[in-house]
């Protein structure tokens, strides 16, 4: 057996290897996987679990790869107590690049994805068929595993740009994200709150990688991305050219927080990106890990337990600054949809639900089924 966890993109594949086999062996394994899946011995094969993330270059993709690795555990590997993975026995988690939050929500609800990440505000709208999702039925098969980490709006410009405020974006060419991404939805809302008509900005719907390259080459005036800091794409950009971040603050933020309860404030610390020596106030959201309601209770329970195992969190925190902000104490903060009953079982065993059901009614739906 090839011992690895996977990060899969529609156009590229990245492997995190735990064994000695090389990428050629891994490729041969995937070519043969359909045969394994259809053989009589399929029951002995690993169980695959997909995590929808977002485009490469964003924080969802990076964290998805780390979590996929952490919760995976080959069936014949050593157990957690003896130095092996503390993941779910027999599980191979796959972090899959997608268009982002909107696509993840729809595919999780329809069963096309087992799980995925999304902004809390979008998940709340999807579950109740509001705003962006008002034209369709409620996506009421969405369930939560945990709130993971805070995200912030990043608006990056070249250091010599004339753009210093949101209003300065008028008449400029700006990447506001792929239409199916959380970035695109949040930026449309933010720009409208700032009084900028959609026709007053030349919007370029690019994914992070191409957008960053266009800004680097001077063909874009600004790039808007949403994610936990430091965002890989912006970190890489700041390592090649001088940049600034545009603040998101004042009456615009106050107006959004009044209208949308899942919006908050944040500050991107000074020094997060090379050359950006001042803290940048911004608008914030929570990133939530969601799963389909039909996913097996015991599997979700063991995934949740594995995620919050101290032996899992320590290496995650050491590998990534965003992962360092994934904490059990915040796992139930601001959940936009009901907990999956498997996850609820874990938090119930930890005594974390008693004071929260009354505070957050969405927590109670699946809990009452136990």
The CA angle 55-6-334, to the nearest 5 degrees, is 55
Q: What pLDDT is recorded for position 34? A: 43
Q: To 10 degrees, what angle do helices 101-110 and 120-128 make? A: 40
For residues 293 and 142, the answer to whether their CB atoms sit within 8 Å is yes
CB contact set of 11 (below 8 Å; sequence gap of 6+): 97
Q: Match 């924080």 to its residue by tokens.
A: 59
What mean pLDDT is reported for the chain? 85
pLDDT digits (tens, 9 = 90+) for 28-50: 333 344 433 443 444 457 899 99
For residues 245 and 154, the answer to whether their CB atoms sit within 8 Å is yes
Q: What pLDDT is recorded for position 261? A: 86
Q: How many residues does the chain have?
A: 370
What stretches of 138-259 show up as alpha helix (H) in DSSP? 182-193, 208-216, 232-238, 251-259
Q: In order of start, what are the domains of the chain with their CATH numbers?
A: 4-33+46-148+287-367 (3.40.190.10), 151-286 (3.40.190.10)
Query: Sign of dihedral through CA atoms 155, 146, 350, 265?
Result: positive
Q: What pLDDT is recorded for position 355? A: 67
Tens digit of each residue's pLDDT, the chain (370 residues): 333 343 443 333 333 333 323 322 333 333 344 433 443 444 457 899 999 999 888 899 999 999 999 999 977 777 787 777 889 999 999 999 999 999 999 999 999 999 999 999 999 999 999 999 999 999 999 999 999 999 999 999 999 999 999 999 999 999 999 888 889 999 999 999 999 987 899 999 898 999 999 999 999 999 999 999 999 999 999 999 999 999 999 999 999 998 888 899 999 999 999 999 999 999 999 999 999 999 999 999 999 999 999 988 887 877 778 888 999 999 999 999 999 999 999 999 999 998 665 445 455 544 333 3
Measured distance CA(120)–CA(193) in Å, rounded: 19
Measured distance CA(14)–CA(232) in Å, rounded: 15
Q: What pLDDT is recorded for position 303? A: 98
Measured distance CA(280)–CA(286) in Å, rounded: 18
Q: What pLDDT is recorded for position 1? A: 32
Q: What pLDDT is recorded for position 356? A: 63
- pTM listed for this prediction: 0.83
Q: What pLDDT is recorded for position 210? A: 94
Closest by CA to 224, choosing from 265, 184, 170, 275, is 184
Q: To 10 degrees, what angle do helices 59-71 and 310-319 make? A: 140
Q: Omega of the bond prior to 230 within 30 degrees of 0, cis? A: yes
């Amino acid at each position: 057996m090839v011992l690895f966890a996977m990060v899969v993109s529609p156009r590229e594949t990245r492997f995190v290897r735990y064994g000695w086999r090389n990428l050629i062996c891994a490729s041969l394994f995937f070519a043969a996987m359909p045969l394994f899946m259809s053989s009589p011995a399929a029951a002995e094969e690993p169980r695959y679990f997909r995590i929808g993330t977002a485009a490469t270059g964003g924080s969802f993709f990076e964290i998805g790869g780390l979590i996929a690795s952490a919760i995976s555990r080959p069936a014949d590997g050593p157990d957690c107590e003896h130095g092996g993975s503390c993941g779910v026995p027999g599980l191979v988690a796959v972090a899959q690049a997608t268009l982002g939050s909107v696509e993840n929500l729809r595919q999780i609800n329809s069963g096309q994805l087992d799980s995925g990440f999304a902004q809390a505000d979008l998940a709340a709208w999807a579950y109740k068929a509001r705003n962006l999702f008002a034209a369709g039925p409620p996506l009421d098969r969405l369930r939560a595993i945990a709130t993971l980490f805070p995200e912030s709006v990043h608006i990056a410009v070249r250091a010599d740009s004339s753009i210093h405020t949101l209003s300065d974006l008028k008449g400029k060419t700006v990447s506001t994200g792929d239409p199916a991404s959380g970035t695109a939805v949040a930026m449309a809302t933010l720009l409208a709150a700032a009084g900028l008509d959609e026709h007053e900005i030349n919007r370029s719907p690019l994914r992070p990688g191409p957008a960053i390259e266009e800004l680097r080459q001077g063909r874009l005036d600004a790039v808007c991305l949403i994610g936990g800091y430091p965002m890989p794409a912006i970190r890489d950009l700041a390592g090649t050219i001088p940049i600034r971040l545009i603040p998101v603050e004042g009456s615009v933020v106050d107006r959004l927080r009044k209208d949308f309860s899942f919006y908050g404030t944040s500050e991107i610390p000074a020094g997060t990106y090379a050359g950006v020596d001042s803290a940048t106030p911004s608008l914030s959201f929570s990133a939530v890990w969601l799963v389909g309601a039909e996913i097996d209770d015991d599997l979700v329970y063991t995934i949740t337990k594995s995620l919050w195992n101290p032996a899992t969190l320590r290496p995650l925190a050491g590998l990534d600054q965003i992962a360092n902000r994934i904490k059990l104490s915040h796992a139930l903060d601001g959940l936009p949809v009901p907990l999956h009953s498997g996850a609820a079982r874990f938090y119930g065993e930890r005594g974390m639900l008693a004071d929260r059901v009354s505070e957050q009614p969405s927590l109670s739906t699946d809990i009452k089924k136990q």
